[in-house]
Amino acid sequence: MGRIIAPSILAADFNNLGKEIEMINGSEAGYIHCDVMDGVFVPNISFGIPVIQKVYKISRKPLDVHLMIVNPDALIVQFAEAGASIITVHYEVCTSLHRTIQFIKKQGVKTSVCLNPHTPVAVLEDIIADLDMVLLMSVNPGFGGQVFIENTYKKVRQLKSLIESNNPDCLIEVDGGVNYETGKKLFECGADVLVAGSFVFNSENPLETIRQLKLL
């Protein structure tokens, strides 16, 4: 399984979003991570469907859409039509998670569930077989540039063992506070996909930073 880097455009320069997407297109990134925030589930608002439509038009990488919104079911069709390749919903807001996952599948989009730092991996036991990916938050969602929560390493190892016995093709993605140090340990614990926002876009050479992250 190759290691995948997913730059989060939350940290990109929105005045030059086209150029930032071109940079990702020419990089070794596997996905473009799109952080959608509603100001209710998380204390911040980012961007939504119109921006994702525009990104999709010029992107040559799959769009990995992370929905930090309270009612994802109401908008899954729109995000699928906007160009999402993977849709991630939060466990904490889905009262009928199985239904939500089947609905995402029906749109021809890959399925992923995200766990906040306080949500134990064990809650996925009865849904893991239906997922293409699990996203573990390594910060509390809402903002880029936060400090990595060390407990995440343990969760990655727990998730790896759950996946090995139930759905070996399911990917493990980690989001928040990724840098060379945390990224290396995450890969060692079994992560497949690393989201990186500020570490990539605030670096002097984002292209090279993406390349180095993949080599960790």
Footprint of ligand DX5 (CB under 6 A):
8, 10-11, 33, 35, 66, 139, 141-146, 175-178, 195-199
- The yes or no reply on residue 192 touching Zn ion (CB under 5 A) is no
Our CB check for Zn ion shows the closer of 76 and 139 to be 139
CB of 164 vs ligand DX5, minimal distance in Å: 26
Q: What is the token pair recorded at 87?
A: 């849709």
Nearest to residue 4, comparing CAs of 28, 30, 23, 27? 30
60 and 86 Cβ atoms separated by less than 8 Å: no
For the question of residue 35 being annotated catalytic, the response is: yes
Shortest reach from residue 197's CB to Zn ion, in Å: 8
DSSP code of 45?
B
Neighbour-count burial for 47-86, b at 16+ CB within 10 Å, e otherwise: bbbebbebbbeebebbbbbbbbbeebeebbeebbebbbbb
d(Cα 30, Cα 194) in Å, to the nearest integer? 10
Cβ-based burial of 16 (10 A; exposed 0-12, middle 13-18, buried ≥19): exposed
Q: Which is nearer to ligand DX5, 166 or 185 (CB)?
A: 185
- Of the pair 35, 192, the CB lying nearest Zn ion is at 35
Element housing 17 (H / E): helix 17-25
Pick the binder of Zn ion from 131, 175, 189, 214 (CB under 5 A).
Answer: 175
Catalytic residue among 38, 64, 132, 175: 175
* Of 35 and 38, CB closest to Zn ion: 35
Structure tokens at 25: 């297109």
Select the residue whose beta carbon is closest to ligand DX5 and give its number. Answer: 197
Stretch that binds Zn ion, among 45-53, 64-72, 101-109, 179-187 (CB under 5 A): 64-72
Q: Binder to Zn ion among 20, 35, 64, 132 (CB under 5 A)?
A: 35
Q: Would you please indicate which residues are annotated as catalytic (active-site) residues?
A: 35, 175
Using CB under 5 A, list all residues that contact Zn ion: 35, 66, 175
